[in-house]
Structure 1
C-alpha cells in the first residue's frame, strides 16, 4: 500500500515542503503527487508565499523516485501507465508553473520521479554527496515526452542524455559542472545555504519575480500564452506600489518593504 506525506509550513514568505516517506527513501506516492498539485493551487491564491523550498525528509534522499507500491495497481499496463504519467505530469507542471520562485534542496538520492520534481523547480541546490539518476532504461518504461522536455530545460541536453542513456548515477559535482545544478555545498552547509537563498528571494518584490519567471519560461519555449502574461505582469509591476516603495527605499538608503501590490 502506498504511503508518504507532503508537509507544508509557511513562515517569512517561505513555504517549506518536505517529502516524507522515509521507509522508501521519500518515494513519491499517488497521494503525494496530489498533495503537491494541491499546494500549488493553494499557493497561487495566497499572498504570504514568495518562494517555495522543497526537500526530502532526512539526509538520505530528496526522493528515491515514484513509489513502486503504486505500480502494481496504477501502472500495470499501457493504459494505467498513461494515467499515472498524467498524474505525475500534472503535479510537476503545477510546481513548475507556480508564480513564485521554487528551490529544490537535494540531499542523497534524487532518482526518477524525484529528479523530475527537482527539474520542475527554478533553482537546485545540492549537497556534494548527492546524485541524480533516471533508471527508466533499466525498467523498460517509456518516459513521457513532456517530462523529457522538462528535464532537458532544467538539466541541459548533455546531462539529460547521460541520465537517460546510461541509467547510471550522475554525481552532484559532475551535474554541477554540467550546469544541471545551480549551487553545491558540503552536507554540513547545504541546509544553511538553501535557507539563505530562499530568504534572499523572499525579500524581493513578488510582482517582479513573477514577471521575470514568466519571461524566463517564455524564453525557454514554454507556450500557452506565457509571453503575453509576462508582458502584462511586467506592466503591472511597473505601476505597482512596490515599484514606488523600491524607488523610495533606494533614495532613503534603507531596505525596501514589499507587499506584492
Structure 2
C-alpha cells in the first residue's frame, strides 16, 4: 500500500490516507489501497476499533481525483463509482466501529468517506461539502444517500444543490459531526475514544453496530427482531459470561478476549 498507511496502537488500527501532495484525493490507487487496509483490519481479530484520517495538516480527503475522472465515459464512470461505493460500504458494514478523525478538508468523496464511518470527530479547521454539481456531476460515493440520512433532508439538499462548503462549527450544529477539537487535540481525542470502545466486548460492539445499521432500514418491529437476534447471539460468546461474572464480582479492570 503506497497511498494508505496502516498502523496499530494496541487494539486500535489507524488508517491514514497518505496522498498529501494531492490533499489526499481519492484516486483509484488510493481507493485500492484503502480497500486493502480495510480488509486487513477486518481479518485481524486483535483489532477492536479503527480510526480513519488524512496525512498532513490541511486535508482529510479533499475529494475524488478530478484529473483522473475528467475524461471518463459513462461506463468507466459507473465502474469508478461502483468501486468507491464498494469500499465505503465495506467501512460502513465493517465488523468493528470506525471513527473518522477529520483533520481538514472533507469535500466530495472526503465527506462521503467520513459519512461511511460510525462516528465523525473534526478538527476546528475542518471543512465539509459536496461540490459535485459545480463540476457537472452528482455525488458518486454515497453522498446523496448518507447525507440525507444523517442530517435533515432539507439541509442535505441545500448542501448538495448549492455546492457550498460548511465549517466545523456548522457541521457540529447540524449533527454531521459528533465533536470539534483544536487541530492538535483531534488525534488524541480520537485515540482516547477508540481505546475506550476497545475496552468493551468486541463482539458485543460489533453486534450493536449491526443492529443499528440494519434497523435503520427496517420497520420498528423488524428492527426489534434484529436487536433480539444480536442480543441473544451474544450469549454464545465467552465474553458475555466473563463480562457478567466481572460485574457480579465487582471486577473493574476487564480484559475481553473477542471470543
What TM-score does the superposition give when structure 2 sets the normalisation length? 0.90
Contact 1:103–1:198 (CA under 8 A) maintained in structure 2: yes
Aligned to 1:236: 233
Q: Which runs of 5+ in 1 are unaligned?
A: none
Answer with 159-168 or 8-17: which moved more: 159-168
Task: Say if 1:82 and 1:174 are closer, same or farther in 2 by CA, change over 3 A.
Answer: same
Answer with 96-105 or 138-147: which moved more: 138-147
Aligned to 2:194: 198
Contact 1:133–1:163 (CA under 8 A) maintained in structure 2: yes
Offset from partner CA, 1:48-90 (integer Å, 9 cap, x none): 11111000001101011112232145xx222221111111111
For residues 100-139 of structure 1, what are the structure 2 equivalents within 5 Å? 100-139=96-135
For residues 1-261 of structure 1, what are the structure 2 equivalents within 5 Å? 5-72=3-70, 76-144=72-140, 146-221=142-217, 231-250=228-247, 251-261=249-259
* Matches of 1:156 and 1:46, distance apart in 2: 36
What TM-score does the superposition give when structure 1 sets the normalisation length? 0.90
Answer with 250-259 or 209-218: which moved more: 250-259
CA drift at 1:10: 1.9
CA drift at 1:147: 3.8
Offset from partner CA, 1:31-64 (integer Å, 9 cap, x none): 1112222223332222111111000001101011
Q: Which runs of 5+ in 2 are unaligned?
A: none
CA drift at 1:182: 0.7
* Matches of 2:203 and 2:116, distance apart in 1: 20
* Matches of 1:169 and 1:145, distance apart in 2: 18
* Matches of 1:222 and 1:6, distance apart in 2: 35
Offset from partner CA, 1:156-200 (integer Å, 9 cap, x none): 424422320211111110110101101111123222111110110
Contact 1:4–1:28 (CA under 8 A) maintained in structure 2: no
Answer with 111-120 or 44-53: which moved more: 44-53
* Matches of 1:57 and 1:162, distance apart in 2: 30
CA drift at 1:137: 1.1
